[in-house]
Structures are given as C-alpha cells and as structure tokens.
Structure 1
Amino acid sequence: MSSIDQFVLGVDLDGVCADYEQAFRASVVRHLGRAPEQLPPQTVMDAYSQWGLTFEQFEQAHRTAVVEDRMFRHMQPLPGVSEALWRLSNRGVWIRIITHRLLFNWAHESSAADTAYWLDANEIPYRDLCFIGDKPNVGADLYVDDSPSNIVALRAAGRAAIVFDQPYNRDLPGPRAHTWEDVVALVEAEFAARERQVPLPLELE
C-alpha cells in the first residue's frame, strides 16, 4: 500500500531509463586506455569483473565517470522512455524515480544535480526523486527495475515488480518488459485492476 492514495510506479534509472552501460564503457575506454573490444556486453551485474577490473579499479573508474565525465548528465535515454512515462502520467500514474546512485562519498552533489538535469533534459515526468538502495521501503504499488538483487528483494517484501529485460536478469521470472511499450501495457493492466484516486496530469510545456 502506498503512502498516498494514488497508484505509484517506482522507476529505476540505470539500465531501465538510461543507458548506463554505454556511458560507463565510453568512460573506461577513455580513461583506462582499454580498446572497446576488450569490454564485452554486460551479462552479469558486476560488469567490472567481465572487463578485467578489480572492485577498487571499478570504484575509481565509476567516480571518474560521474565526477569528470558527468556521466549521469550525458548518458543516452533508452528508446521510448519519455513517451511511455508521459502516457502513464497522463493516465494518473504517480511516477516515483528511485535510484541508488549515491554509491561513493564526495560525489553526491554531481550525482544528484546531474540526475535532476538529465530527467528534465530528456523530458521524463516524475513527482518524486528518491536516492536510496533499500527500495522495498519506498512506498510504491509497482516497481520496474533491472537489478536481480533489487527484484528479489522487492518480491521477498511482497512488492509487485516488473523485470526490465537485460542480459544479466534473464533467469528471473516475469512479468518482464523488453521495451517501454511493454512497461506501459503491464502498468496499465495493473492500474486498471485497482481502484485509486488519481492525480491531475502533469503539463508538458
């Protein structure tokens, strides 16, 4: 049950709305001198192990990508995300962005500011922005996420969750969305099954 009397959709960012892998790969190539062919497509969550990085090297590479390259400001949106979320918002779905981007100390200002900038620049409608790792305790009626650990934790807590398809989560049971059109269909089906007071639509200026 959400904390407000609306249908709340909890939306992850990296790997769901934004192409984190492409942006991080470009930064690693630039700063660590790796050839692109040395960085295979991510098939496990800890891509750094596939790319021959230690966890310490990953931490430094991630910090560089966030602070120097402003990755969270410039990464590409995944196809159809803005249009899909506007369709849902205009139907009265309360969009709550939930992301765990504050991973390391002394990079929080750029992480938070660049996230807000990216959401506005890519016309992503939302009513709340939460930086938190403990997603089951963020009140939402339905979540969309790509992380296997997040999906498992959400479902263990009794939360409904859509798996946004990525190579590293193919072993998880559905419901599964391969595109943002799939997300819309799944959310609309869930939304229609519940009787909720809905907020007025946001206006796109």
Structure 2
Amino acid sequence: MTTPFIVLSDQDAPMADWEGGLIRDVRAAYPHLTFADAGTRDQWDFHLTLPAEERDAFRATMNTAGFYGNLPVTPGAQKAFRKLHDRGINHFVCTTPSADNPSCASDKLVWNAANFGDKVAANTILTFDKTVVRGDILLDDKPEITGSMIPEWEQVVFDQPYNRNTPGRRMTSWDQLFDIIAGHVASGRDYSTDPFTVLFDMDGVIFDWEGGIVRRARINHPNVKIADAGTRDEWDFFPNTPADEAAALREAMAWPGLFRELDVFPGAVEVIRALVDAGVNVLFCSTPALYNESCASDKLWAIGEHFGKDMVKRVVLTQDKTLIKGDILFDDKPVIDGLLAPTWERIVYDQSYNKFVTGPRMFAWPEAFDLIDSVRSVIAA
C-alpha cells in the first residue's frame, strides 16, 4: 500500500504573522518604549538581547492570554491551504504551543478554525517535539529543529531574516509551495536509533474523563438523573441516553475548565514518573476536544499540575494518533484509525465500553511495566 504524502506546516510565521502581531501589541501596550519593526531581526530569540524593560515588555505581551488568538494571517497562506485541499494533498498544522501562555494551545486551534476552517483546526497537531510527527515535508521558520527522534520529514525553511544561515531548501513565498512539493526526495534515513517510546492517552487512561463529566453534569443539573460513570457499554454516550441527560452531559463536556477538574487514576503518576526515571521516552498523546474551547490549554495545565512542569513538554495533542511515532500506545478508545498505518502497538486500557476489543489489555496501572517489557522484548528480538 502506498503511504500518503503529507505536508506539515508550522503555524507561527508560516501561517500566523507572530512577529508582526507581537510588535503591534507591544507597541500598543508600551507606547513609551521603542521597538524595531517586524522583519528586521537577525536572531531567533531576539528579545533576549534587548534591554531589560523592553525584554520584559515582550515577554508580558507574548504570555498574555488571548495573544495567539488575535494574530494577523501571513499573506498567501490561506490561498495555499485552499489549493492543498482542492488538490487532495494531506496537510496538517504542526505547531508548538507556548508553555508560558495560559491560553496558547486552545487559542491556536480557535485561530485556525476562524482563519482556515474547521478542517484545518482538526488537522492541527500541538507538540513540543516535532520529530515525533510523521510526514514528508515540514514548512518551518525555526533555524534548528531538534527532538527525541530522527525526523521522517524534510524541513523546508520558511524564509525569515533570522534563518538565512539555515541550510536546505527554502520557501520565500507560499506561491512556491507546489514546486517545493514536486521537488521532494525521500530521505531514506535510518530510524533504528530512535528511542523506545511509550505513548499514553490522557482521557480515560490517566484522567477519569467519564467520572469528571458525570460529576460536572450533576453539579450543573442536580434534578436530572445522570447514570454513574463506568456503567455504559458504548463509546458514544448519546444514542440510548434520555434527552435531558444527554443535554446535561453535552453541556458538561463543553464546560470551560472541565479538563482541569478531572481526577487522576490511582497509580498513573507514580508509574509514568518511574518510566521516565528509567529512561523511557514517554509522551502524553491525547486528542483535544474541539467542542471545548479551553480543552487544549487545560490539558497542558493538568499535566503540569499533576506530573510537574517538566512533563508538559511531553504532551502531543492530535486528532490522528497514527501520525505520531512510538512503540506502544495505551488507549481506551475501542477503535483507533487514521491516515497511516501506526508504528505503535496498541494496549487497551480497560473500560466498560471497550470489553470487546481484542489484544493486550491493562486493568490497573502497576501492570504497565510488564506489558511494556513484553513489547520491548519482542522488538529487541
């Protein structure tokens, strides 16, 4: 079977005029300071070389909630994305959220939906490590992209003054995109040195998503009968749910801050911490709920709150988990499909609604070690 061709695009700079928006906002907030025009800097981390007052102004502006939801669109990007869609080329946004801006992750998804459409928002991957994402081309302005793995993609440098010394193919305008695609040559790289990587879903595996929804629905609607968590035998809540209960559950699922309220399953923190301490490349691989506008940012917050700030950069948020490289995926969803054949073996995290799913199964967190060792031994054989 032929592997689909995939174009990945960074968001800040190629799609959103991050620097232009930053200069605009910082000048508005600090009119007494002088800031150079956008497009004139020759350093990636330009603000680090500024005097303290100007540097602090930039940081405060970048980390203001809502900043990433109000950026201008880079000229030519929308037209290019429409052409990608019209020509049937698989394209995904691959962007790194700011760990310091409380709404950045969610704002990126909302901004994409508003400026490029719901399909592009759904095809957005939020990750701190782009080397774990599978694809053929990555359009990105960052001068040097590193991570835990050897990337499958070829970086095509989205031209900016601060990356002029970066080698490789370069795109100076979105008009060049299809020439760039036509000129791509598969790398033939050896990925055997990639670290052993375990992916953990978040909702229903680490966090008690169903329990949190039921609790929130009961708080909001104390007079509506809500079935207990753990009693449903279908993945989808709603086909056989009474109308008033379904309405309460839908409201709870979209509730701002819901994903900050979820309890952690016993043992999850201790097991994952032990795996990281043992040198396993652990990633949290979760699907953000597009119907809940704060979900993506709340997921980052929840990992930082329960696992520690150092673990936030292990989060990957994607609607298609087959695009993420790994050896094992622990997940409760009965059926996981996507664009590609996955590199990972799936281990089912036991829930009432996935009893029919075959394959290795985890009933409690302490079992994770033996399950991981069994897969690892097969890979090593």
TM-score category (smaller protein): 0.7 to 0.9
Deviation at 1:40, TM superposition (A): 7.3
Question: Does the alignment pair 1:79 with 2:266?
Answer: yes
Deviation at 1:31, TM superposition (A): 2.3
Deviations along 1:159-199, whole A, 9 cap, x unmatched? 3110001111111112100011112221133235545xxxx
Whichever residue aligns with residue 276 of structure 2, its letter is S
CA contact (8 A) 2:203 2:209 kept: yes
Q: How does 1:1-205 map to 2 (within 5 A)?
A: 4=149, 5-32=194-221, 33-36=223-226, 41-53=231-243, 57=247, 58-64=249-255, 67=256, 70-104=257-291, 107-108=292-293, 110-123=294-307, 125=311, 127-150=313-336, 157=342, 159-194=344-379
Deviation at 1:99, TM superposition (A): 1.1
CA contact (8 A) 1:145 1:161 kept: yes
The 1:194/1:17 distance shift into structure 2, 3 A limit, reads same
Q: Higher RCO, 1 or 2 (CA under 8 Å, sep at least 6)?
A: 1
Deviation at 1:158, TM superposition (A): 5.7
The whole-number CA distance in structure 2 between the counterparts of 1:78 and 1:155 is 30
Deviations along 1:93-122, whole A, 9 cap, x unmatched? 111111112322xx43x2122212211221
Whichever residue aligns with residue 174 of structure 1, its letter is G
The total of aligned residue pairs comes to: 186
CA contact (8 A) 2:325 2:344 kept: no
- Give me the TM-score of the superposition, normalised by structure 1: 0.78
The whole-number CA distance in structure 2 between the counterparts of 1:39 and 1:16 is 14
- Give me the TM-score of the superposition, normalised by structure 2: 0.44
Deviations along 1:5-35, whole A, 9 cap, x unmatched? 1111111011100001111001222223323
Classify the secondary structure of the residue corresponding to 1:130.
Answer: strand
Classify the secondary structure of the residue corresponding to 2:303.
Answer: helix
CA contact (8 A) 1:39 1:50 kept: no
Whichever residue aligns with residue 170 of structure 1, its letter is K
CA contact (8 A) 2:210 2:230 kept: no
The whole-number CA distance in structure 2 between the counterparts of 1:86 and 1:126 is 13
Partner of 2:71: none
Classify the secondary structure of the residue corresponding to 1:162.
Answer: strand
Whichever residue aligns with residue 46 of structure 1, its letter is D
Whichever residue aligns with residue 212 of structure 2, its letter is A
CA contact (8 A) 2:204 2:210 kept: yes
The whole-number CA distance in structure 1 between the counterparts of 2:198 and 2:377 is 13
- More displaced stretch, 30-39 vs 20-29: 30-39
The whole-number CA distance in structure 2 between the counterparts of 1:143 and 1:123 is 19
The whole-number CA distance in structure 2 between the counterparts of 1:154 and 1:38 is 35
Classify the secondary structure of the residue corresponding to 1:86.
Answer: helix
The 1:172/1:153 distance shift into structure 2, 3 A limit, reads farther
Classify the secondary structure of the residue corresponding to 1:48.
Answer: coil
Deviations along 1:61-88, whole A, 9 cap, x unmatched? 4212xx1xx2211211001000010111
The whole-number CA distance in structure 2 between the counterparts of 1:19 and 1:43 is 16
Structure 1 residue runs without a partner (length 5+): 196-205
Classify the secondary structure of the residue corresponding to 1:49.
Answer: coil
Deviations along 1:108-161, whole A, 9 cap, x unmatched? 3x21222122112212646421221211111111100000122x6699646311
The whole-number CA distance in structure 2 between the counterparts of 1:186 and 1:154 is 26
Structure 2 residue runs without a partner (length 5+): 1-131, 134-148, 150-193
